[in-house]
Chains A and B, each alone.
Chain A
Amino acid sequence: MKIVHFSDLHLDTPFSWMGVSGSLARERRNAQRKVLERVTRIVIEEQADALFCGGDLYEHDLFTPDTGTFLRKLFAHLDPLPVFLAPGNHDWFGPGSLYATLDWSPNVHIFNEDSLTPVMLTDGLTLWGAGHRSPANTDGFLEHFRVDRSGTHLALFHGAEMGSLQFEGSDKKPHAPFREHQITASGLHHVFAGHYHRARQTALLTYPGNPDPLAFGEDGGRGVVIATIETMGVVSREIRNVAETTIADVSVDLTDASSRSDVLAAVEGALQQCTGVIRVFLTGELAPEVDLRLVDFDALSLPGIEAIQFQVRVKNAYDLDSIAREKTVRGEFVREVRRAGLPSETERRVLVTGLRALAGRRDLEVL
Chain B
Amino acid sequence: MWIERLDATAFGPFHEQKLELGPGMNVVVGPNESGKSSWHGAIYAALCGLRRTKGSRRSDERDFIARHKPWNSSQWRVTAIIHTSGDRTIELRQNLANLVDCRATDLALGRDVSNEIMNGGSPDASKWLGLDRTSFRATACVRQADVLEVQRSPRVLQSALQRAAASVPADSTASEALIRLQEFEAEQIGSDRAPTRPLRQAQSKVERASDELREARNDHLDYVLLASQVNLARTVAEGAASRLRAGLAARAEVSARTLEERYDEVRRLSAKFKDMEPPRLSGPEDDLARQISAALDRFRRRPALPSPGPSSSESIRQAIATAERSSGGDIEMHPTVEMAWRSWWESSSALQRHGRVQPAEFPAPDAAGYTADELSDIAAEIAHAPQMRVATRGESAPAGLAVFLTLGVAILGLVAALLGSVIPGLLVFIASVAAAGTLHYNRKPSTVPTQESRDNSLVTRLEEQGLPLNAPAIRSLATAMRDYERAETDLLKWRESREALVLEDRRCQEELRQALRDRGHPVGQDQLTADALQAYQQACALRRDGAAQSGALRSELAAAELREGQYAAIVHELQAVEAELRRLAALAGIPIDPDAAMEFIAATLQGWENQRRLKLGELDTQQREWSRLEALLDGHAIEDLEVHASLARNVARAASVGVDEVEFTEFLNAFSAGSGQAQLDAAARADQEAREEMARLSERLRLRASSMKDVAAAEEALESARIGLNRLRDLAEVVRLTQKFMSSAADRAHRTIAPLIQATLSEHISVATHGRYVEALVDPESLEVRVKTTEGYWRSASALSHGTTEQIYLLLRVALAEHLVVAGECAPLILDEVTVHSDAQRTKAVLDTLLMLSLRRQVILFSQEVEVAEWARDNLDMSRDRLVALAELPV
Contact = CB atoms under 8 A, between A and B. Distances in A.
Interface of A: 12-16, 19-22, 25-26, 29, 59-65, 94-97, 100-101, 258-259, 262, 289, 322-323, 325-333, 335-337, 340, 342, 346, 349-350, 353-354, 357-362, 364-366
A12 B712 contact: yes
A346 B713 contact: no
A22 B734 contact: no
Contacts of B716: 14-16, 20-22, 25
B872 interface: no
A332 B167 contact: no
A48 to B, nearest CB: 30
B227 A96 contact: yes
B706 to A, nearest CB: 9
A26 B713 contact: yes
Interface string B174-201: 1011101101100010000000000000
Given A62-B220, A357-B738, A96 B745 contact: no
Contacts of B231: 95-96, 100-101
Given A16-B716, A258-B55, A96 B225 contact: yes
Given A100-B231, A358-B171, A364-B184, A332 B130 contact: no
Contacts of A15: 712, 716
Interface in B447-505: none
B130 A325 contact: yes
Contacts of B749: 327-329, 331-332
A76 B33 CA distance: 98
B219 to A, nearest CB: 10
Given A323-B168, A358-B167, A21 B720 contact: yes
A354 B738 CA distance: 6
A22 B713 contact: yes
B712 A359 contact: no
Contacts of B568: none
Query: Which 9 residue pairs across A and B have the least CB separation, nearest first?
Result: A96-B224, A95-B228, A16-B719, A333-B745, A96-B228, A21-B716, A332-B745, A65-B705, A357-B177
A284 to B, nearest CB: 16
B237 to A, nearest CB: 13
B744 interface: yes
9 contacts: A13-B712, A15-B716, A16-B715, A16-B716, A59-B712, A95-B228, A328-B168, A336-B748, A353-B735
B559 interface: no
Interface in B127-153: 127, 130, 135
B647 interface: no
Instruction: Determine which residue in B130, B733, B737 has the highest number of CB atoms from chain A within 10 A of its CB, and name it.
Output: B737
A83 B734 CA distance: 55
B70 interface: no
B228 A329 contact: no
A362 B184 contact: yes
A333 B742 contact: yes
Contacts of A21: 713, 716-717, 719-720
B737 A350 contact: yes
B239 to A, nearest CB: 16
| Dominant secondary structure of chain A at its interface with chain B | loop
B819 A327 contact: yes
A295 to B, nearest CB: 11
B53 A258 contact: yes
B102 interface: no
Contact of B188 (A26, A62, A340, A364): A364
Nearest to B715: A14
Interface residues of B, number: 66
A286 B535 CA distance: 154
Given A101-B227, A350-B738, A353-B738, A328 B710 contact: no
Nearest to A17: B719
B29 interface: no
B172 interface: yes
Contact of B737 (A322, A327, A335, A346): A346
A326 B54 contact: no
Contacts of A14: 712-713, 715-716, 719
A151 B813 CA distance: 98
A62 B715 contact: yes
B746 interface: yes
Contacts of B92: none
B741 interface: yes
B409 interface: no
B215 to A, nearest CB: 14
Contact of B708 (A25, A64, A360, A361): A64
Contacts of B225: 96
Contact of A354 (B230, B713, B741): B741
Interface string B717-757: 10110010000001101110110011011101110110000
Contacts of A330: 166-168, 745
B369 interface: no
Interface string B692-712: 000000000000010010111
A58 to B, nearest CB: 11
A358 B172 contact: yes
B164 interface: yes
B327 to A, nearest CB: 105
B887 interface: no
A332 B748 contact: yes
B225 to A, nearest CB: 6
Contacts of A100: 227-228, 231
Contacts of B171: 358-360
Given A12-B711, A350-B734, 14 more contacts: A14-B719, A16-B720, A19-B723, A22-B717, A62-B712, A95-B231, A258-B54, A259-B55, A328-B749, A337-B737, A346-B733, A359-B172, A360-B177, A364-B735
B745 A360 contact: no
A339 to B, nearest CB: 9
A322 B167 CA distance: 12
B678 interface: no
A327 B129 CA distance: 11
A337 B737 CA distance: 9
B372 to A, nearest CB: 135
B115 to A, nearest CB: 11
A333 B231 CA distance: 68
Interface in B327-379: none
A14 B744 CA distance: 45
B741 A364 contact: no
B718 to A, nearest CB: 8
B541 interface: no
B819 A358 contact: no
